[in-house]
């Protein structure tokens, strides 16, 4: 009579690909805010992805940590950039594995914002759109199956769809970070990716956690612009929106169980306050019950292992 099933095929594993990790021991750099997660070299990414694929995990989602940053984030659309090289390496080694790439500028800009800045320091929405289109096309040329814009600029799904089609990638899908809130729970990720804004915050482009109806409107706009899947992020405090977005859009919905949500469970488990395995499987099942078709989680490999035993 069980209503909700959780399986490895519903899980997506985020991975950090780092230029600097090439010179770290085993091609892996520890992340102080995210125990057991590492920034990986190209070789280590393939190694890690192979074990995820063996466990039946549905897909990997790649984040780039480049060696150099600049004001525009030009490393993001470099065809020889760290994500582009990782996508080609993964597609060559594991052609069946679904590869999703995060499309954003914040890991590549020296100021850490998700777009280019105007003279007054605010993010220039429309100037950023053009760059995001180039990033997505470059990921598609490398072989990405889906691109996932996480910048939250208005109109980016439409721009990216047009750019992908014009570049000959009409078969590459868009997983839109549609309902992405300005959240405290991204803290550990920003440490991992070196993408903490140098000044200000992301509240001019990410959603106010108090606004559910606005989140549903954002998702509906992304659908109109051509999104193939929509995302709600973070996950734990947003179950109502996973359900509402699913109902309103009719599209597959992804829930992103983000870095701070991962770190919270890890910290409590390490302190002996709760049982990690039980807590993680309960969280992932709950997100599936709320309506998530897939769950992006730093616990993906652990969960897949636990589900198999
Ligand atoms: C890039 C991006 C972020 C996350 C995913 N893509 C950081 C942010 O918006 O500050 C967060 C993921 C996580 O916390 O696990 N814009």
Q: Model confidence over 125-138: pLDDT tens digits?
A: 999 999 999 999 99
Does ligand 1 lie within 6 Å of residue 114's CB atom?
yes
Q: How much is the pLDDT for 62?
A: 98
Q: Is 186 in the pocket of ligand 1 (CB under 6 A)?
A: yes
Q: Report pLDDT for 301.
A: 98
Domain span at residue 202 reads 8-231
* Six token digits for residue 28: 């892996």
Long-range contacts of 239-244 (CB under 8 A, 24+ apart): 239/286, 239/287, 239/290, 240/212, 240/290, 241/179, 241/212, 241/215, 241/216, 242/287, 242/290, 242/291, 242/292, 243/290, 243/291, 244/212, 244/215, 244/216
Residue 144 included in any domain: yes
Query: Is the CB of 138 within 6 Å of ligand 1?
Result: no
Catalytic site residues? 180, 233
Q: What is the C-alpha separation between 303 and 298, in angstroms, rounded?
A: 9
In a domain, 139, yes or no: yes
Phi, psi at 60, each rounded to 5° = -115, 150
- As for how many domains the chain has, the answer is 1
Residue 31 lies in a domain: yes
Q: Is the CB of 189 under 6 A from ligand 1?
A: yes
For ligand 1, atom 14, which residue shows the shortest CA distance? 186
- CATH code: domain of residue 47: 3.20.20.70
In a domain? residue 125? yes
From ligand 1's centre to the CA of 189, what distance in Å? 6
- How high is the pLDDT of residue 51? 97
Listed as ranges, residues in the chain with pLDDT below 50 are none
pLDDT attached to residue 41: 98
Residue 253 belongs to some domain of the structure: no
- How many angstroms is it from 242 CA to the middle of ligand 1? 18
Q: Residue 244: inside a domain, yes or no?
A: no
């Amino acid at each position: 009579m069980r209503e909700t099933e959780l399986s490895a095929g519903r899980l997506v594993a985020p991975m950090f690909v780092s230029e600097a990790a090439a010179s770290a021991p085993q091609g892996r750099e520890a992340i102080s805010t995210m125990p057991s997660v590492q920034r990986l070299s190209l070789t280590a990414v393939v190694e890690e992805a192979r074990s995820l694929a063996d466990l039946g995990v549905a897909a990997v989602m790649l984040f780039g940590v480049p060696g150099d940053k600049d004001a525009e984030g030009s490393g993001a659309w470099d065809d020889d950039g760290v994500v582009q090289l990782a996508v080609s390496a993964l597609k060559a080694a594991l052609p069946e594995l679904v590869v999703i790439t995060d499309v954003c500028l914040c890991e590549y800009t020296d100021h850490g914002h998700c777009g280019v800045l105007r003279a007054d320091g605010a993010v220039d929405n429309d100037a950023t759109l053009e760059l995001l289109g180039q990033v997505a096309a470059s990921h598609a040329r490398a072989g990405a199956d889906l691109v996932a814009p996480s910048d939250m600029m208005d109109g980016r799904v439409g721009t990216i769809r047009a750019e992908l089609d014009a570049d000959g990638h009409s078969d590459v899908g868009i997983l839109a970070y549609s309902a992405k809130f300005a959240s405290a729970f991204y803290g550990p990720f920003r440490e991992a990716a070196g993408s903490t804004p140098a000044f200000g915050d992301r509240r001019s482009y990410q959603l106010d956690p108090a606004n559910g109806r606005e989140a549903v409107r954002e998702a509906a706009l992304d659908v109109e612009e051509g999104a193939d899947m929509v995302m709600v992020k973070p996950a734990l405090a947003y179950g109502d929106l996973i359900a509402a977005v699913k109902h309103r859009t009719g599209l597959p919905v992804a829930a992103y169980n983000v870095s701070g949500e991962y770190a919270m469970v890890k910290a409590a488990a390490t302190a002996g306050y709760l049982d990690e395995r039980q807590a993680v499987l309960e969280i992932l099942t709950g997100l599936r019950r709320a309506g998530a078709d897939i769950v992006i989680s730093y616990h993906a490999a652990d969960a897949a292992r636990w589900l198999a035993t």
